[in-house]
Amino acid sequence: MDIAVLGGDARVFREYLLSWELWAGRGQGELESKPITIESISPECHVLWCRPSSTSDWAFEVLLNEAAGEEWLFRRDHRIRKPLSEIGSAAKNGIPHLKPELVLLFKAKHNLDKDQHDFMAALPTLTPEAREWLSDSLQVVHPCHPWLVFLGTLG
């Protein structure tokens, strides 16, 4: 399970899990050399791996999202943005989640088999507005991405 938090709230999140070990991710499944402290959370940190103790399995990842004012910013290209009020939704059981089009935009970078599976599973659930937003965003960061064909942009 991944949890999304605005980067500006990372210290508060860290304080909430003060007894836990949190490690900054370096990408490609690699972690920094030691757990982070409240003081050591860097603005360049985008992923935190969390576990109750050094002998515990990893419980979840925290994805630190960027924002400017009331806008969410795609960390790989700040031209892509969305009002914070429009980045999430709640499932029928009340659990909040990021909208699928945002998650898919992140997954588009590597386009692994699991990402392709997630895209195909989510595609029928995307609203026309979500499809258009994802298509527009992909054209900015991955202009020849194969998903554009399914979104009706290339063909």
Q: Is residue 74 part of a domain?
A: no
Parent domain of 50: 2-65
- Are 59 and 97 contained in the same domain? no
Q: Is residue 124 part of a domain?
A: yes
Residue-wise pLDDT tens for the chain (155 aa)?
Answer: 678 999 888 888 889 999 999 999 887 778 888 898 877 888 788 899 999 999 999 999 999 999 999 999 999 999 999 999 999 988 889 888 899 999 999 999 988 999 999 999 999 999 999 999 999 999 999 999 999 999 986 54
CB atoms within 10 A of CB 28: 6
- Are 6 and 60 contained in the same domain? yes
- The total number of structural domains in the chain stands at 2
E-strand ranges in the chain read 2-6, 21-27, 30-31, 47-51, 60-68, 71-73, 81-83, 88-90, 96-98
- Are 50 and 96 contained in the same domain? no
Q: Is residue 84 part of a domain?
A: no
Q: Is residue 73 part of a domain?
A: no
Q: Is residue 100 part of a domain?
A: yes
Give the N- to C-terminal CA distance of the chain in Å, as an integer.
35
- Are 144 and 102 contained in the same domain? yes
Q: How far apart are CA 152 and CA 110, in angstroms?
A: 21
Q: Is residue 82 part of a domain?
A: no
Q: Is residue 59 part of a domain?
A: yes
CB atoms within 10 A of CB 26: 13
Q: How far apart are CA 76 and CA 109, in angstroms?
A: 10
Q: Is residue 53 part of a domain?
A: yes
Q: How far apart are CA 126 and CA 138, in angstroms?
A: 15
- Which among 44, 48, 80, 43 is positioned nearest to 63, based on CA atoms? 48
- Are 60 and 97 contained in the same domain? no
